[in-house]
A and B are shown apart, each in its own frame.
Chain A
Amino acid sequence: MKIDVSRVAQLANLPLTADEKKKLAAQLEETLTYIDQLNEVDTKNILPTSQVTGLENVLAEDIAQPSLTQQAALANAQATDKGFFKVKGIFSDE
């Protein structure tokens, strides 16, 4: 099986160099070969487990709680404008 590294990188929003892509392709194949061992385990009629302690539908009252101030929320941002996060334009390059 061949992994389309460029497509996976695009899905992961990960900028990779040509060299990195080549190296990763080989390493990912190696890891996939290892995990293919799982096919030796019969899992017919077995349900998947996502939550190991068996908790289900943990709910909380929908009550507003104190939260971060605007200033605290923006304190680590690379770029801000008038109290908002500043991001690159989506429909333009501004």
Chain B
Amino acid sequence: MNDAIDIKSLTITQAKKDLAAKKYSSVELTKAYLERIKKVEPKVNAFITVTEEEALKSAKEADAQIAKGEDKALLGIPLSIKDNFSTLDIRTTASSKVLDKYKPPYDATVLTKLKDSGMVMLGKTNMDAWAHGSSTETSDYGTTRNPWNTDHLPGGSSGGAAASVAADEAIAAIGSETAGSIRQPANWCGVVGLKPTYGRVSRYGVIAMGSSLDSPGPITRTVEDSALLLQILAGQDPHDATTSPTAVPDYLKNLKKDIKGLKIGISDDYFEGVDPEVKATVEQAIKTLEKLGAVVKKVKLFPPKYAIAVYTIIQRAEVSSNLARFDGIRYGNNRSTFGDEAKRRIMLGTYTLSAGYYDQYYNKALKVRTVIIENFAQAFKDVDVIVGPTSPTTAMKIGATEGQSMFGELADVLVEPSSIAGLSGINMPVGFSKAGLPIGMQIIGPQFAEEIVLNVAYQYEQENPLYKIKPEL
């Protein structure tokens, strides 16, 4: 192995410089990650499929292009992809046995964009089956372990994605969030997780969970890498009519701007019932933002508990519709192969959409959704961003979800309101508990305010660069 490669300190930004300076080749870099995967996977189980052969082939092609002086945003950079993104001719399971042998006949738009940018895909990462959950315990391919303590959960549903970055099995990962599925595992694994505004990144080819909520996004070590990846992913897609025509700004341009005078909102409701260690650490992080010149203001947000109820109804309803297409005829196995969690969600969704109950549940939820959206809009008249803890606790122990039909919703109580309103948000690592588990702070912005969210996160990261601390594995 090339000694110039130190995967424990690598970021996309650094690896690009190194590749350009010919310190090592993309093949050497890719091999280093494949070796790391072989070494730590027995402990972590972040991947469902490792695409070694294809990865080395892409790396070789990247090296040839680098030799010709080509410059692409991700040329030769090895990433992991969550297993709910359709990948042409490469097994895509969404962690469910229903799709055990499924090989998509096309690429998701996100994949097309990453490939066009020169990415090397290392493999497909584990998740909660169909993205239903916040632990990876509902995966049909085993639970992913938290790299900081393998007796603990990585969070979910993008648990494999977050763990692959924390465990240095990939420079960065692509995940997806419906309500918490990027920010919560990023929080529990101590990495940066960006949930873009709904419609900022195309859902075409992503195995659908909640179509009015699903937002693909990057999981990275640093904020700069997050901005770099969002730049590639963002934009209108003719294949997804819900993508926005709103112009995509240059996310790297204003990243390093100071945040003097920026108004930051905090809401007491978001600190209620939060673990004291998490609360104290996030309060400390807010003080850091104040030190950087930000002005902290109290805002009154709608109690998050109602967001759980709204989310539960809308998401289960959309799940029951989306999973109706799995008939076992055109592709995949038959409907008896759904796991318990999927069955539970399909049943609740079917019930709330059925004749006589639609108004009582689904329509009511859509109205409360309006109330939540208006509440955030009101708050953003006074402040630029809102900050608070990402989750009420640090990573829970393996097995915590046993018999808990509302586990995910309670773990994601603090991120569900912003997801329902389609807002942008990020998880920033801000410290560790006494037990050595990561603690995260979320920064929420209005719709299409990723630029501001990334700017605040970047400035915080300069004060407290926790990405330099790595788990022992």
A residues lining the B interface (CB < 8 Å) = 3, 5, 8-9, 11-16, 20, 24, 27-28, 30-32, 34-41, 43, 46-53, 55, 58, 60, 68, 72-73, 75-78, 85, 87
Given that A35-B361, A48-B363 are contacting pairs, would A27 and B405 also be in contact in the complex, using a CB cutoff of 8 Å? yes
Is B380's CB within 8 Å of the partner chain A? no
Instruction: Check B347 against A12 for contact (C-beta < 8 Å).
Output: yes
Given that A13-B324, A15-B335, A78-B329 are contacting pairs, would A41 and B371 also be in contact in the complex, using a CB cutoff of 8 Å? yes
Given that A11-B350, A28-B351, A49-B366 are contacting pairs, would A77 and B331 also be in contact in the complex, using a CB cutoff of 8 Å? yes
CA distance A36 to B363 in the complex (A): 13
CA distance A86 to B190 in the complex (A): 49
Q: Which residue of B lies closest to A68 (CB)?
A: B105
Instruction: Check B344 against A27 for contact (C-beta < 8 Å).
Output: yes
Q: Please tell me which stretch of B37-45, B168-176, B304-312, B386-394 contacts chain A, meaning at least 4 of its Cβ atoms lie within 8 angstroms of it.
A: B304-312
Q: A46-B370, A58-B242, A76-B102 are in contact. List 6 more A-B contacts (CB 8 A).
A: A8-B347, A24-B347, A28-B348, A28-B351, A38-B306, A47-B367
**Which B387-442 residues have a C-beta within 8 angstroms of A?**
405-406, 420-422
CA distance A78 to B351 in the complex (A): 30
**Complex interface: chain B residues within 8 A of A40 (CB):** 306
Instruction: Check B312 against A53 for contact (C-beta < 8 Å).
Output: no
Is B50's CB within 8 Å of the partner chain A? no
Is B336's CB within 8 Å of the partner chain A? yes
Instruction: Check A58 against B354 for contact (C-beta < 8 Å).
Output: no
The 5 closest A-B pairs by CB, nearest first: A48-B366, A52-B422, A76-B331, A43-B367, A58-B241
Instruction: Check B331 against A53 for contact (C-beta < 8 Å).
Output: no
Q: Shortest beta-carbon distance, B163 to chain A, in Å?
A: 28
Instruction: Check B366 against A14 for contact (C-beta < 8 Å).
Output: no
- Give 29 CB contacts A-B under 8 Å: A3-B351, A5-B347, A8-B351, A12-B324, A12-B346, A24-B347, A28-B351, A31-B312, A34-B308, A34-B406, A35-B309, A41-B371, A43-B367, A43-B368, A48-B366, A50-B212, A51-B212, A52-B421, A52-B422, A53-B197, A53-B244, A53-B447, A68-B105, A73-B105, A76-B101, A76-B331, A77-B329, A78-B333, A87-B329
Instruction: Check A28 against B212 for contact (C-beta < 8 Å).
Output: no
**Complex interface: chain B residues within 8 A of A35 (CB):** 309, 312-313, 361, 365
Given that A43-B371, A52-B422 are contacting pairs, would A76 and B332 also be in contact in the complex, using a CB cutoff of 8 Å? yes
CA distance A88 to B221 in the complex (A): 51
Given that A34-B406, A46-B370, A60-B238 are contacting pairs, would A53 and B351 also be in contact in the complex, using a CB cutoff of 8 Å? no
Is B198's CB within 8 Å of the partner chain A? yes
Instruction: Check A51 against B312 for contact (C-beta < 8 Å).
Output: no
Q: Shortest beta-carbon distance, A6 to chain B, in Å?
A: 11
Instruction: Check A38 against B371 for contact (C-beta < 8 Å).
Output: no
Contact with A along B191-206 (1 / 0, CB 8 A): 0000001110000000
**Complex interface: chain B residues within 8 A of A53 (CB):** 197-199, 242, 244, 246, 422, 447
**Complex interface: chain A residues within 8 A of B363 (CB):** 48
